[in-house]
């Protein structure tokens, strides 16, 4: 991996970038901005030197530009256009799934220490939903054959599977 610092003016935006283009009014933009202001610019952008196109980090670049930054650290790749596009999609898609119980435990620990939870990148609404979620509180009614006549059944028109409504 090659890391370089280049002028922002040298970077072309990927017109094909499939991610939603955030504006400064979007909560996701504001969350990312807060995180970057608190912790700094920790992840380099991904830039294709062959085409001059930004492959990953469009939202971070937008925030850096708004802050008046003139040069930025990039991870340099040398790809043809097809591989560039594939990497762009992969970088936007490589988010893992959360282990909700562990995530909630960590968020509650942070909350108990008085940490600013907005710096986790979650919106206030997401934080309230996560912190208030307790896996033991989720219950589903038991279903057995004795209540079969009381339950309305639905048949899938495509596969024919019958399930309770």
Sheet hosting strand 2-7, strand order edge to edge = 2-7, 71-77, 45-48, 53-56
Element (H or E) spanning 153, and its range?
Answer: strand 153-155
Q: 151 or 90: whose pLDDT is higher? A: 90
- Most confident of the ranges 17-21, 93-97, 153-157: 17-21
Q: Using 50, 70 and 90 to split pLDDT, how confident is the model at 33?
A: very high
Would you say residue 161 has pLDDT above 80?
no
Average pLDDT in the 11-22 region?
90
pTM of the full predicted structure?
Answer: 0.68
The DSSP bridge partners found for residue 164 are 153
CATH of domain 2-93: 3.90.1530.10
Give the model's pLDDT for residue 4: 97
Position of tokens 């990148």? 121
Listed in sequence order, the residues at least 6 apart from 7 whose beta carbon sits closer than 8 Å to its beta carbon are 70, 71
Per-residue pLDDT tens digits for 97-152: 677 888 888 888 888 888 888 888 888 888 888 887 655 554 455 666 666 677 77
Domain locations along the chain: 2-93, 100-155
């Amino acid at each position: 991996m090659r890391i370089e610092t280049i002028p922002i003016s040298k970077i072309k935006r990927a017109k094909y970038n499939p991610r939603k283009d955030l504006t400064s009014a979007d909560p996701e933009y504001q969350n990312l901005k807060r995180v970057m202001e608190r912790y700094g610019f920790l992840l380099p952008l991904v830039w294709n030197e062959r085409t001059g196109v930004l492959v990953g980090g469009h939202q971070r670049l937008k925030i850096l530009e708004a802050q008046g930054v003139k040069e930025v650290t990039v991870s340099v790749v040398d790809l043809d256009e097809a591989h560039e596009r594939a990497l762009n999609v992969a970088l936007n898609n490589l988010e893992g799934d959360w282990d909700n119980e562990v995530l909630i435990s960590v968020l509650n620990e942070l909350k108990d220490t008085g940490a600013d939870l907005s710096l986790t990148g979650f919106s206030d609404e997401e934080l309230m939903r996560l912190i208030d979620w307790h896996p033991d509180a989720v219950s589903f009614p038991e279903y057995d054959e004795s209540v079969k006549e009381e339950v309305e059944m639905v048949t899938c028109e495509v596969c024919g599977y019958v399930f309770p409504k």
